[in-house]
């Protein structure tokens, strides 16, 4: 397994980054002359030829002006030229909808909390399924973007990500699951897991007396295998949970999801007394169906959610994870790691995982009397 580290970066890039940092922080102001190559080499602990190569890169970027037989001078550069550009790359369905997905705001907020705006500028780009490099890669290279925080779709490949790293764009993944097959291609990853939260919610429902519990999910959910493994352990302990076919109600999500199918849960001969919804979209539909059918939540039906990006939109505070807070923390940690990588430092822990925490609310109560 190859892990890109500080040792993989050419030495002249360190020289370029250190000189650029001096200019950013005001050590050398626009118009001032830089020390000679040997003086900077001594301060940086490098060979003067390495420093010369770093200066050549800054000359190409228009940040330093080389005057023959005089020396090197800081040009009157715009602030944007003194910043490292970082891009948040997200699937189109999260970024390009008329009503932007609330997760995007939380992720950008976390990134901005971690990054000094004097050193970094943050942008967003979107990509279609199977088109990560085609939609984003050439533009990043053309603009000189050096870092990308990637929210991956399930079809992302190692080969696509390696194109970015080979082009000098450091990649840190964020997301709700970690695909370990991508580890060899990225510089790091910060991911979350809902498994501890699901375990707590399911145990709470059982403890307060629920025996007819259903979980709504998506057929192509990246969590599905892990969720099924966890639920099977509960089924081994609690026979009343039935079989996976009894417990799970999965909606097709190849194209547009038909949420109205959730109404079928309420036409079963044996109706559930508690439902765990995969996300806030399913929760919203379940509340609508309950209201239309005259079912009081939580007195007649307990509801809980796993991923919940809209905790304030429901008439009852729902027991669920605080997904927005977790996304913000995740992206903040990812941005800090990316900043270290761009500064030529090595990550002691390239791959981190955060457990989403449950906010209990008032939506879980004992089941109604028979």
* For residue 349, pLDDT beyond 90: no
Identify whether the C-beta of residue 302 lies closer than 8 Å to the C-beta of residue 364: yes
Pairing of strands 71-74, 64-67: antiparallel
pTM over 0.85: no
List, in sequence order, every residue forming a beta bridge with 189; answer none if it has no partner. Answer: 173, 351
**At 339, is the secondary structure helix, strand, or coil?**
helix
What is 6-79's CATH topology? Arc Repressor Mutant, subunit A (1.10.10)
Query: Across the chain, what does the average pLDDT equal?
Result: 86
| Residues 6+ positions from 346 with CB-CB distance below 8 Å | 5, 6, 7, 340
In Å, what is the CA distance from 198 to each residue of 11, 164, 234?
A: 47, 35, 11
H or E element in which residue 131 lies: none
CATH architecture of 84-193+327-357: 3-Layer(aba) Sandwich (3.40)
Residues 259, 353: Cα–Cα separation, whole Å? 31
Q: CA–CA separation, 275 vs 247, rounded Å?
A: 10
306-338 burial, b at 16+ Cβ within 10 Å, e below that, comes to bbbbbbeebeeebbbbbbbebbbbbbbbbbbbb
pLDDT at position 223: 80
What is the radius of gyration, based on Cα positions, of the chain? 26
Summarize the chain as % helix, strand, coil (round to 5): 45, 20, 40
**DSSP state string for 262-307:** GGGGGGSSS--SEEEESSHHHHHHHHHHHHHTTPPTTTT-EEEESS
Q: Taking 50 as the threshold, does the pLDDT of residue 4 lie above it?
A: no
150 pLDDT more than 90: yes
**pLDDT at 316 (0 to 100):** 93
Of 72-81, 101-110, 202-211, 267-276, give the lowest mean pLDDT range. 72-81
Spatial contact of 140 and 87, defined as CB atoms under 8 Å apart? yes
Distance of alpha carbon 44 from alpha carbon 53, whole angstroms: 14
Count other C-beta atoms under 10 Å from residue 303's C-beta.
Answer: 23
Of the pLDDT bands very low, low, confident and very high (cuts 50, 70, 90), residue 332 is very high
Percentage of the chain surpassing pLDDT 90?
A: 41
* pLDDT tier, 5 (very low <50, low <70, confident <90, very high otherwise): very low
Q: What angle in degrees, to the nearest 10, is found between the helix axes of 195-207 and 224-237?
A: 30
∠ CA 87-93-95 to the nearest 5 degrees? 35
Instruction: Pick the range with the lowest mean pLDDT from 24-33, 185-194, 296-305.
Output: 24-33
Tokens of 72: 């090197």
Domain boundaries, given as residue ranges, for the chain:
6-79, 84-193+327-357, 195-321
On the question of a common fold for 84-193+327-357 and 195-321, the answer reads: yes
- Strand pairing category for 170-175 and 147-150: parallel
At 181 the pLDDT is 74
Cα separation, 307 vs 364, in Å, equals 16
Query: Which CATH number is 195-321's, of 3.40.50.2300, 3.30.830.10, 3.30.70.1150, 2.30.30.90?
Result: 3.40.50.2300
d(CA 240, CA 202): 13
Query: Cis omega (within 30 of 0) on the bond before 298?
Result: yes
**Lowest-confidence pick of 54-58, 140-144, 339-343, 362-366:** 140-144
């Amino acid at each position: 397994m190859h892990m890109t580290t500080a040792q993989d970066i050419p030495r002249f890039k360190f020289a370029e980054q250190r000189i650029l940092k001096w200019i950013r922080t005001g050590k050398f102001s626009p118009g001032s002359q830089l020390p000679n190559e040997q003086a900077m080499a001594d301060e940086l602990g490098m060979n003067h030829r390495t420093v010369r190569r770093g200066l050549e890169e800054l000359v190409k970027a228009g940040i330093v002006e080389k005057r023959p037989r005089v020396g090197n001078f800081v040009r009157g550069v715009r602030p944007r030229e003194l910043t490292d550009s970082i891009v948040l790359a997200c699937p189109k369905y999260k970024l390009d909808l008329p009503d932007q997905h609330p997760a995007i705001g939380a992720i950008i907020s976390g990134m901005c909390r971690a990054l000094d705006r004097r050193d970094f500028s943050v942008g967003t780009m979107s990509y279609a399924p199977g088109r990560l490099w085609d939609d984003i890669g050439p533009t990043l290279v053309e603009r000189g973007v050096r870092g990308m925080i990637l929210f991956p779709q399930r079809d992302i490949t190692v080969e696509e990500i390696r194109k970015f790293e080979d082009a000098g764009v450091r990649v840190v993944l964020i997301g709700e699951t970690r695909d370990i097959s991508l580890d060899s291609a990225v510089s790091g990853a910060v991911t979350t897991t809902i498994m501890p939260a699901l375990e707590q919610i399911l145990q709470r429902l059982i403890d307060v007396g629920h025996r007819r519990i259903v979980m709504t999910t998506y057929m192509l959910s990246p969590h599905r295998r892990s969720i099924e493994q966890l639920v099977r352990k509960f089924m081994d302990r609690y026979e009343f949970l039935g079989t996976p076919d009894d417990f799970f109600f999965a909606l097709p999500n190849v194209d547009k999801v038909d949420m109205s199918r959730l109404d079928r849960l309420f036409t079963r001969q044996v109706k559930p007394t508690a439902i765990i919804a995969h996300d806030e979209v399913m929760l919203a539909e379940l509340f609508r169906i309950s209201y239309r059918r005259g079912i009081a939540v939580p007195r007649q039906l307990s509801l809980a959610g796993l991923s919940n990006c809209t905790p304030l939109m429901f008439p009852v505070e729902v027991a669920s994870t605080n997904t927005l807070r977790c996304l913000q923390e995740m992206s903040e940690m990812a941005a800090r790691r990316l900043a270290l990588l761009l500064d030529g430092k090595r990550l002691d822990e390239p791959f981190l995982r955060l457990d989403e925490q449950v906010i209990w609310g008032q939506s879980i109560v004992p089941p109604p009397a028979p």
